[in-house]
Amino acid sequence: MQLHTLLANLEQPLLNIYGADELDQNSDISSLAYDSRKIAAGGLFIAVPGTHTDGRRFLGEAAQRGAIAALGETLQDSQDLPLPYIEVPDVRTALANLACTFYGYPAQRLCTIGVTGTDGKTTTSNLISTLFEASGAHTGLMTTANFKISGKEWENATRQSTLEALEIQQFLSRMLEAGVTHAVIEATSHGLELQRVHGCNFDVGVVTNITHEHLDFHKTIEAYRRAKARLFEMLDSSRDKGLGGRPIAILNRDDISYEILKPYCRVPILAYGQHPTAGVRAVDIQLQAHKTSFRVILPDTEYKIETPLIGQFNVSNCLAAIATAYSQGISIEEIARSLAAVKGVAGRMEYIDEGQPFAVIVDYAHTPDSLEKVLATLRPVTPGKLLVVFGSAGERDTQKRPIMGQIAAQKSDFFVITDEDPREEDREQILREIAAGAENAGKQQGSDFLCIADRTEAIASAFSHAKSGDTVLLAGKGHEQSIIIGREKLPWDDRQVAREQLKNRAR
């Protein structure tokens, strides 16, 4: 694609072009890259600022690798540039514009469904995909845990819940080529704030809930909520892709997010929940150890739902998926059949069974709200004691650490505080901050809980304290395949480590 075509589709005016005399805008651009190590000859380098570094520091490397030009925000020093530099006001919006143009605006030919919220996004996204596929649609999926294109599924090993705009548009293009009709995209607050999902032309916006998370990035809960609202601002009632659906916002009537997000919606709203005014409402809920049932009340009918997914929070996730599918014309009979046969998502309430006399469950719960909900779900189905191993990520929301310690103190019988992803923070200090919340709740380190930074040792210790009839919850890592210590991403899988430690106990 020629450079002038790419630049013509930017939403913002160019501020300047340094080295314009050397730049032929009729040049063919072979590829786009925001990582200078991935630049190929004839490529365009987009110099995006990151957490630890800034793409503008790597103009020389991009030039050496054959970049025709670079594009980014204002330079501190424009002297002696190694290649032509195109200056724009907002490089992240520009990256999304360039990606959309380069890959032919794939979202314009797909029904795109964005799922946001603090907890439950991945499960809800997978449920939506399952319901649409059961109705005959071909789906694509991008979530924290997994990717899927027309039935082919694989784990998300990137450690990014919402990919960068370049990868998203490339992925949507692959979906289109594979015959996908509906794309389900997990839209995190980072992804929304940093324009990663810009250009996805969402037809349906879904929210699970909004609680306490990511204040390290957003600074205030108000800014965090505002980022989530961007998804619903992107919905356009006049958008018609000719795919048969209709733009709609799916809001949680039971959650504070309903009133927060409602003013941002310019499309019809379909609310779900147990609230009496919800358009998709659950009644007669029966929570059991290995299944959940409820009656769903829809605007024009009602139906009995049974699913192997357990817990009150999964009732909410199911309702969000039901509302989404129902809004797009899928029958409640098809929805019910799919939910009855649905499988859980990897690392979400996943049972680990190596013949041990106590239950072991791996879950991604890494926020105060999600940890509290999972513990509340496990308590009534645990005849013995409830134990939990958990931590809190380094270089992330520090305010939640003592809150999580307090929740563990109040909702479990014994717990081990350990590493999640300490990154470049002092791992022992993270543990102390979590422990402070537990101690304020009246618990004593050494008798009521332990602090063990090494996660393998922490899991082994929890298992050594567990007896027949107990439940051990390994929280915070879920499906993840690595743990970040310093800047090093080390191989890690809670499920594998749990199995190894359980086998060691049996020897």
Confirm or deny that 467 is annotated as ligand binding: no
Confirm or deny that 122 is annotated as ligand binding: yes
Orientation of helix 312-327 relative to helix 121-134, angle to 10°? 40
Confirm or deny that 245 is annotated as ligand binding: no
Provide φ and ψ at 81, rounded to 5°. -70, 140
Confirm or deny that 162 is annotated as ligand binding: yes
What contacts 447, CB < 8 A, 6 or more positions away?
none
CA atoms within 13 Å, Cβ hemisphere of 466 = 31
Confirm or deny that 468 is annotated as ligand binding: no
Kindly state the tokens that stand for 10.
Answer: 């930017």
Confirm or deny that 196 is annotated as ligand binding: yes
Length of the chain measured in residues: 507
> Quick check: 156 and 168 in contact, CB under 8 A?
no
Structure letter (DSSP) for residue 327 = H
Side by side, which strands form the sheet with 69-72?
Answer: 16-18, 85-87, 69-72, 44-47, 32-33
Confirm or deny that 143 is annotated as ligand binding: no
Output the CA angle 217-222-223, nearest 5 degrees: 35
Confirm or deny that 117 is annotated as ligand binding: yes
What contacts 396, CB < 8 A, 6 or more positions away?
214, 216, 421
Confirm or deny that 419 is annotated as ligand binding: no
Confirm or deny that 427 is annotated as ligand binding: no
3-state secondary structure of 485: strand
Extract the annotated binding site.
36, 117-123, 161-162, 188, 196
Extract the annotated binding site for ATP.
117-123
